[in-house]
């Protein structure tokens, strides 16, 4: 169902909240503030290339060093004692799913805060996953600006935007569907209960922050990487308030499908 004009306007005004997820403090200063019209726009002047060509060029040397999920896995996220079961789809989003499962296994999400909850004027998202929010002494103004710092490199691990178009063998990397002139729907869509990565305006800026879709958000399809779906406990998601913490996140099935480069 297409959004009515008024619904689209509301979406246009609140989508900026996602654009701040997973970026550094420096990048935040370059973006619009939450609630503003920070919708990514792209002007394409080059001739459109096929998804397979774009994927081949973008994927070369970029994803080899990142964790990959080959198949599916199940994660149980516990919030205030109540479980949320998420099916993580590495078949259609291997890098995005692999990054999430790897961070779950590292305990990165335990005790982090859901720093952004948007339900008004209509259900939108519940967003969290910033490791900075673990520290109760950290400034709440910084929550939503951080990502996972890899202890091996001392830098923030970032993953490419990864969205698989229907009918394609491989995902499209580092480009939105609009900029790549992809006209088909993604395999993984923003249905109610979808789990996806937050990012800044730069396509390859996602790190650890993720969000739950509180409603069908088709206008985000092709712009943000969905990697999973809530299969049980959506009622728990619906009760999350801003400031609530993740008690724990555990991989309960499919851990053997995670492949981590040595």
Question: Of 101, 131, 81, 262, which is closest to residue 195 (Cα–Cα)?
Answer: 101
Helix-strand-coil percent breakdown of the chain, rounded to 5? 25, 25, 50
pLDDT > 50? residue 29: no
> How much is the average pLDDT of 178-192?
97
Confidence at 63, pLDDT banded by 50, 70, 90: confident
Among 144, 158, 149, 36, which Cα is nearest to 95's? 158
The reply to whether 96 falls in a domain is yes
pLDDT for position 262: 82
Structural domain count, the chain: 1
Mean pLDDT value of segment 13-21 = 51
- Which residue do the tokens 């490791």 mark? 131
Specify the pTM: 0.82
Q: Is residue 42 part of a domain?
A: no
pLDDT at 136: 85
Q: Is residue 213 part of a domain?
A: yes
The yes-or-no verdict on residue 91 having pLDDT over 90 is yes
Provide the domain limits for residue 105: 5-37+71-254
Q: Is the pLDDT of residue 147 over 80?
A: yes
| Residue 115 belongs to domain with CATH number | 2.40.100.10
- 204 pLDDT more than 50: yes
Q: pLDDT for 101-141, tens place per residue?
A: 999 999 999 999 999 999 999 999 999 999 999 998 899 99
pLDDT, tens digit, 9 for 90 and up, residues 42-57: 333 333 334 444 444 4
Position 31 in a domain: yes
pLDDT at 256: 98
Tell me, yes or no, whether 59 lies in a domain: no
Say if residues 234 and 99 touch (Cβ distance below 8 Å): no
Residue 66 lies in a domain: no
pLDDT at 56: 45
């Amino acid at each position: 169902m297409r959004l009515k004009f008024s619904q689209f306007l509301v979406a246009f005004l609140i989508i900026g909240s996602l654009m701040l997820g997973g970026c550094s403090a420096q990048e935040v200063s370059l973006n619009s503030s939450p609630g503003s019209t920070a919708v990514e726009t792209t002007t394409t002047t080059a001739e459109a290339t096929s998804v397979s060509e774009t994927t081949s060029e973008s994927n070369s040397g970029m994803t080899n060093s990142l964790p990959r999920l080959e198949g599916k896995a199940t994660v149980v996220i516990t919030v205030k004692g109540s479980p949320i079961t998420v099916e993580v789809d590495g078949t259609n989003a291997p890098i995005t799913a692999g990054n999430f499962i790897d961070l779950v296994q590292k305990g990165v999400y335990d005790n982090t805060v859901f720093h952004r909850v948007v339900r008004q004027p209509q259900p939108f998202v519940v967003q969290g996953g910033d490791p900075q929010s673990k520290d109760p002494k950290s400034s709440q103004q910084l929550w939503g600006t951080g990502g996972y710092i890899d202890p091996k490199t001392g830098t923030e691990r970032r993953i490419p935007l990864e969205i698989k178009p229907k009918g394609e063998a491989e995902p499209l990397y580092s480009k939105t569907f609009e900029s790549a002139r992809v006209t088909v729907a993604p395999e993984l869509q923003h249905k109610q209960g979808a789990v996806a990565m937050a990012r800044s305006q730069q396509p390859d800026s996602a790190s650890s922050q993720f969000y739950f879709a509180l409603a069908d958000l088709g206008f985000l399809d092709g712009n943000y990487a969905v990697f999973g779906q809530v299969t049980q406990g959506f009622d728990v998601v619906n009760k999350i308030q801003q400031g609530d913490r993740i008690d724990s996140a555990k991989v309960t099935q499919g851990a053997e499908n995670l492949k981590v480069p040595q």
